[in-house]
């Protein structure tokens, strides 16, 4: 009986990755909304499920070890290790999120960010619960998404100020390349990263693209602007999540990696 229970709890533990994958892919393929897939299934229910599997695995393991014959201890131990690892990963993600500001809009130049074109704006208008495109110089207290006691400590700081402090490496890329060459590199890098380029205008040095995450299918919109300067060209980028309050640093990471890729092409 104890061996059977050990095998059953191992099966449950092995199904935990399937649960997470199903939660993410269900959102990606439109089976349910992101608030249910991420908020309910992952954030709310997943820790309880993992704790339940871990507790049962430990109980079964102890029951096997205290009385001979001690058959089935290995499946029970593996189940406990799998569940414990999953719980540790969730705890790590939560600790990381607590050190990242709850913002979803980042630019290399907050006072003068690249503007999104009509195609991107139209797509965002058709997205339920889409984040509005706002000025990065507005104080957080003036934005609807940043109301309540959770944001009281941010005072009248702007989105740009918060992002600049959290991500000091997100800066414009200055290059000696001519604007046309810089634009070609920016466009090539966007395509190489698998983004969907929805509009491009070499004359104005602007392009809009959309990046889609693999698991949940979250869409982040990216605006790129190439302008001439005294040294050659300067490239600015703005990356904004369509939904969700916090991006867990994804937009800043995207901008840094993208500009590093563009620089490598010049």
**pLDDT tens track for 154-191:** 778 899 999 999 999 999 999 999 999 999 999 999 99
Q: CA-to-CA distance for 219 and 243, rounded, in angstroms?
A: 8
The residue among 264 and 129 whose pLDDT is bigger is: 264
Q: How far is CA 114 from CA 57, 140, 186, 252, in A?
A: 53, 20, 14, 15
At 62 the pLDDT is 93
Residues of the chain with pLDDT > 90: what percent? 81
Identify the pLDDT of residue 15: 96
SS3 call for 152: helix
Is residue 150 very low, low, confident or very high in pLDDT (cuts 50, 70, 90)?
confident
Within the chain, strands assigned E span 105-107, 173-175, 196-201, 206-212, 219-228, 233-241
Token pair in block for residue 213? 């995450």
Does the predicted model carry a pTM greater than 0.75? yes
For domain 105-133+171-265, give the CATH number: 3.30.530.50
Instruction: List the chain domain ranges.
Output: 2-98, 105-133+171-265
Which pLDDT does position 72 carry in this prediction? Answer: 85
The answer to whether residue 83 scores a pLDDT higher than 80 is: yes
Q: Residue 61: pLDDT above 90?
A: yes
Average pLDDT (54-58) is: 96
Both tokens of residue 69? Answer: 């014959």
pLDDT at residue 240, rounded to an integer: 97
Collapsing DSSP to helix, strand or coil, 139 comes out as strand
Q: Please give the mean pLDDT across all residues of the chain.
A: 93
Which two three-digit tokens encode residue 220?
């982040």
Q: What is the pLDDT of residue 153?
A: 75
- Are 16 and 50 in contact by the 8 Å Cβ rule? The answer is yes
Local structure of 1: helix, strand or coil:
coil
Cβ atoms of 43 and 246 closer than 8 Å:
no
pLDDT at 27 over 90: yes
């Amino acid at each position: 009986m104890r061996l059977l229970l050990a095998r059953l709890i191992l099966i449950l533990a092995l199904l935990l990755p399937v649960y997470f994958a199903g939660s993410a892919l269900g959102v990606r393929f439109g089976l349910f909304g992101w608030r249910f897939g991420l908020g309910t299934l992952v954030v709310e229910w997943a820790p309880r499920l993992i704790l339940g599997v871990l507790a049962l695995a430990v109980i079964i393991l102890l029951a096997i070890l205290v009385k001979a014959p001690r058959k089935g201890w290995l499946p029970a131990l593996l189940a406990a290790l799998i569940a414990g690892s999953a719980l540790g990963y969730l705890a790590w993600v939560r600790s990381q999120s607590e050190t990242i500001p709850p913002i979803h809009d980042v630019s290399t130049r907050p006072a003068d960010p690249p503007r999104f074109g009509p195609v991107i704006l139209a797509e965002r208008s058709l997205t339920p619960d889409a984040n509005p495109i706002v000025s990065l110089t507005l104080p957080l207290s003036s934005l609807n998404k940043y109301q309540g006691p959770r944001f009281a400590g941010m005072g009248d700081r702007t989105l740009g100020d918060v992002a600049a402090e959290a991500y000091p490496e997100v800066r414009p890329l200055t290059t000696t390349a001519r604007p046309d060459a810089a634009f070609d590199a920016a466009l090539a890098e966007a395509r190489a990263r698998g983004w969907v380029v929805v509009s491009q205008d070499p004359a104005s040095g602007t392009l809009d693209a959309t990046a889609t995450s693999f698991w949940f299918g979250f869409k982040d919109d990216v605006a790129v602007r190439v302008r001439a300067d005294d040294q050659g060209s300067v490239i600015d980028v703005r990356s904004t999540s369509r939904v969700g309050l916090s991006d867990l640093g994804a937009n800043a990471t995207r901008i840094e990696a993208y500009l590093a890729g563009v620089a490598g092409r010049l």
